[in-house]
Structure 1
Amino acid sequence: MRDTGRVRDRATADIELRRLSRTFGEVRAVDEVSFTVSAGRLTGFVGGNGAGKTTTMRMVMGVLSPTGGDVLWDGRPITAADRRRFGYMPEERGLYPKQPVLDQLVYLGRLRGLGAASAKASVTTHLERLGLADRARDHVEKLSLGNQQRVQVIAALMGRPRALVLDEPFSGLDPAAVDDMAELLREHTSRGVPVLFSSHQLDLVERLCERLVVLARGRVVADGTPEDLRSRSVTRHSLVLSGDAGWVRGVPGIHAVDVEGSRALLEVVEHGAERRLLEEALRRGEVHEFSRQRPSLAQIYREVTA
């Protein structure tokens, strides 16, 4: 019986990082980083400037050699031949400014092993999907930075890549282009392709990704699904009273994150403290709201990178 669920392409597999490290002189930029980019999944890679994301992605792609550790593809050490079938978007853009968009992308597609006709067809389709069909004959330098970003993305997506490693692919894109890009990436994951992308746009990562890896000071400080990370996060509650809420600062076992007038955002740091809080609130007057807050990725990020 045919499986109608998500089908894993035999040409795809997981990318696994095992204790991957890289030093530059006395600086340990990446420190025994381990995580898996699963086939058919979008994995978001987040961290502050200098956290080690770009260095890690370069080691996955073989641009940098690890000081220690391994990158595995389908459970075995990755090879140069494997990487040639990956789509890679580096931090430094590699476009030729004085070449027409179409000619340049066809050339890059040919380098990826596509025939001339196949490369042109693929480029034309992607230009249409990302709203650049009317700029195909323009030189890259004539495009806005956002449109140059779209061209760079297309270069990574051509040729049915077996995996995608994208460093800040959404940077500079307008909301419509972000949606178009997200749809394209989901089409690749639907055929089993593992996708690793870095971004500073935490709301976007939260919306798109099925798995998150957070890096700080060269080390993985959080790794899991959004729900996994939320379940480990500090519990917060919103409290709305009929009168001033300033008194909540003195309740044992409660940390007042923010208090403004009759509203308070609270963390329960001692089991059972919420009962004492409610009892005191009802003794003082009416309680209009007492609800648990769903932690955002931004809150989780601040907690794990502090």
Structure 2
Amino acid sequence: MLEAKSLQKNFGDVTAVDGITFKINKGEIMGLIGQNGAGKTTTFRMILDLLTPDQGEVLWKGKKLTNKVFNQIGYLPEERGLYPKVSIEDQILYFAQLRGKSKKEIKPLIDDWLEKFDVKGKRGDKVKTLSKGNQQKVQLITTLIHQPELIILDEPFSGLDPVNAELLESGIREAQANGASIIFSSHNMNNVEELCDSLIMLRDGNQILNGTVKEIREKFGRTKLFLESSLSLEELKQFPGVQSATVNRDGISVIQLSAAENGKAIFDAATADGYIPTFSQQPPTLEEIFKRMVGEKNE
């Protein structure tokens, strides 16, 4: 279990991280989200002891992190770093050895990992001959191949097309199934909603939301209504609490309510003559919450 207690980091007069607290249990995935400069990477660097917190502490299984523990960590930094003139195989072996693994342990695994991530290249090819996307997949392999118990991924989906993003998701889920504790940052809220058991949202170094995706969405109320009925937009706009009403590309009315309880009157009216194809009252999406909480200009 990874635990951060009241982490704070200052750079001169700037407080980059201010009192972040969280826990990630074995086999859990946590998302760390926020606008650029919110403190995500600084938080990762404090966990990894690359930066020393001015206040607070980081614990792994109830104890402070040691060199032995760092061999159990897989870290993918936002700034990718591979040696372009080194072969894929030597690159993977080098990073694995840094984590205490031997060549004998890792060599037999390389082909399976290259296949798992669909890397377009042979193990003897130099990294510089690969496309940017395939280089990124090689770096992901170096992060995961030593079977770490704690995985930290800083913007892992950046630059990946949907197919390769799906491969990464599969790799993350496999690591989770093997009991790894995983924390990752992303600006893609769909990835966060799809993968995370819990999340933290940062704004200017402050922790402004913390909980499961469902808990956080439900806090904002079920104020978005999707409706397919005979009621026109003009009729819908007349109901109390309706802030807006539009029709999406599928022909379904999308209604923004000021409060969740305003949906009942619309439901009663829409179903007065019986069956309707669609009535779904939902909380805002994570992306909508992100824009609301940190400002759309900072997305």
Q: TM-score, normalised by structure 2?
A: 0.85
Instruction: State which of 65, 71, 91 in structure 1 corresponds to 2:78.
Output: 91
Instruction: State which of 262, 285, 291 in structure 2 corresponds to 1:302.
Output: 291
Q: Is the 8 A contact 1:62 1:80 kept in 2?
A: no
Aligned position for 2:280: 291
Matched residue SS, 2:139: helix
Aligned position for 1:254: 242
Aligned position for 2:68: 81
| 2:109 maps to 1:138 | no
Aligned residues: percent identity? 35
Matched residue SS, 2:121: helix
| 2:13 maps to 1:16 | no
| 2:221 maps to 1:238 | no
Give the unaligned 5+ runs of structure 1: 1-13
Aligned position for 2:102: 115
Code of the residue aligned with 1:97 in structure 2: it is P
Aligned residues: 290
Q: Is the 8 A contact 2:154 2:184 kept in 1?
A: yes
| 2:23 maps to 1:42 | no
Aligned position for 2:90: 103
| 2:185 maps to 1:198 | yes
Q: Report the CA distance shift for 1:291/1:130 in structure 2 as closer, same or farther (over 3 A).
A: closer
Q: Is the 8 A contact 1:237 1:266 kept in 2?
A: yes
Q: Report the CA distance shift for 1:112/1:260 in structure 2 as closer, same or farther (over 3 A).
A: closer
Matched residue SS, 1:94: coil
Q: Quote the RMSD (CA, aligned, Å).
A: 2.7
Q: Is the 8 A contact 1:281 1:287 kept in 2?
A: yes
Q: Is the 8 A contact 1:100 1:139 kept in 2?
A: yes
Task: Please identify, of 46-55 and 183-192, the stretch whose mean Cα deviation from structure 2 is larger.
Answer: 183-192
The Cα shift of 1:58 comes to: 1.0
Matches within 5 A, 1:181-220: 181-220=168-207
Q: TM-score, normalised by structure 1?
A: 0.84
Name the CA distance, whole Å, in 2 between partners of 1:130 and 1:274: 46
Matched residue SS, 1:134: coil
Q: Deviations over 1:34-83 (max 9, x none)?
A: 11122101212222211111111111111111121111111222233312
Q: Is the 8 A contact 2:225 2:263 kept in 1?
A: no
Q: Report the CA distance shift for 1:188/1:278 in structure 2 as closer, same or farther (over 3 A).
A: closer
